[in-house]
Homo-oligomer: A and B are copies of this chain.
Amino acid sequence: MDGAEFRTRGREMVDYMVDYIEGITSRPPLPRVSPGYIRDLIPDQAPRTGETWESVKADLERIIMPGASSPACTELEVCMMDWLGKMLQLPREFLFCEEGKGGGVIQGTASEATLVALLSARTAAMHKLRDDQPELTQGQILDKLVAYTSEEAHSSVERASLIGMVHMRLLKTDERGSLRGTTLETAIREDREKGLYPFFLCATVGTTSRCTFDNLTELGPICTRQGLWMHVDAAYAGSACICPEFRYLLDGVEHSMSFNFNPHKWLRINFDCSAMWVKDRYAVTEAFEVNPLYLKHDHQGQAIPDYRHWHIPLGRRFRSLKVWFVLRMFGVSGLQQQIRKDVSLAKMFERLVQADDRFEIFGEVVLGLVCFRIKGENARNERLYKMINDDRRIHLTPSKVKDIYFLRFAICASSTQMADVTYAWSVIKELAHKMAASEKRQ
């Protein structure tokens, strides 16, 4: 949708809102639909190519309004989570349509998804430990629990362990930034020897600092064998897996108990929207369920999930609407196109860096993030970073992994084009030149 069309459609929506408010007394206060009604009205997967705005808007009145905000809010979310799950070729056990114990939910951020996974795993582990050793107090059980993640995982993973009051070990990655099976196995063995109870691993697909990938195909079977809940955080990289050529990044996800990625990062869906799936939704509700009368309703315990037991907040926004709009307006192919454009721009930037022998690429460019640095000591890179941001024509963020400081060039805005990349590179080169010149003068 270009700017001109957005102006027209935006106006239509403003009118729709006012008409709705002005005519609200003519609508029934309670919807006249049966549980599951939306599933019968919409396709069971996202469209391959984009649809017209007219068709999307017509369905608002036809499909959503009869179900008002409740149950439409829940039912559309159920369908959208299945759409997204199928786009990622997630194992069927994660989908509602399998009518097993799996399903998905929209969380706000990956931090919340990780926390929910950790708390669910904690509850399951505590039940198991209490069965085995009924003499232990709750606190004594907590003292035994140990969770793992890689030293390159996002800070929110460690933060989840602070909130959950469980010990978390940050395990070493290999030279490519990947957490490997042998490292996890050693840690589990060490901890069991100390009498501890390993219960949770948060593996990352696409780390924040440098977009590296934990080895799910090694880690997963170990977790299954050892009884650990593996959560896979693919907050950034997950979106790319809607392209068949990147789906290999999720190999091994079938061993996980829960998985999340953030469509708000790279699928053109506005913040916030973190999509999370679990294989056993009862393991999640078990951790959160408190059930007062003023929240009871007729459809409890049925196939439709009661999402308030799936996350920290009680109230919820109708976030599946924006997912529905975006998936239909772009279609899967439109979103794939965006991912491929961004990755190819990142590859182009990589080539520009490689062609300049003052610079080096740090790590591997797999998706839209290019980590690079001036060859040599960290201090020069820290100076260059400061110069770039003081200059204010472009904006970068740095990071440091295994004591190596580097700059991060991220392609993620839908409007970014080749000219933006070459412009940014020209600014970086110019400032690097200026820095070198000033170093010579000293």
Contact = CB atoms under 8 A, between A and B. Distances in A.
Contact of A312 (B29, B115, B154): B115
Interface string A1-31: 0010011001101110110011010001110
Contacts of A355: none
Q: How many copies does the complex hold?
A: 2
A155 B292 contact: yes
Contacts of A287: 162-163
Nearest to A291: B155
A208 interface: yes
A422 interface: no
Interface stretch (A54-62, A395-403, A431-439): A395-403
A32 B393 CA distance: 12
Interface stretch (A83-91, A93-101, A106-114, A248-256): A106-114
Interface residue tally on A, bucketed by range: 35 or more
A392 interface: yes
Task: Report which residue of A30, A137, A315 has the largest number of chain B beta carbons within 10 angstroms of its beta carbon.
Answer: A315
A392 B155 contact: no
A116 to B, nearest CB: 10
Contacts of A52: none
A379 interface: no
A293 B398 contact: yes
A298 to B, nearest CB: 9
A65 to B, nearest CB: 16
A225 to B, nearest CB: 27
B408 A294 contact: yes
Q: Name the residue in A22, A142, A294 with the highest tally of chain B Cβ atoms < 10 Å from its Cβ.
A: A294
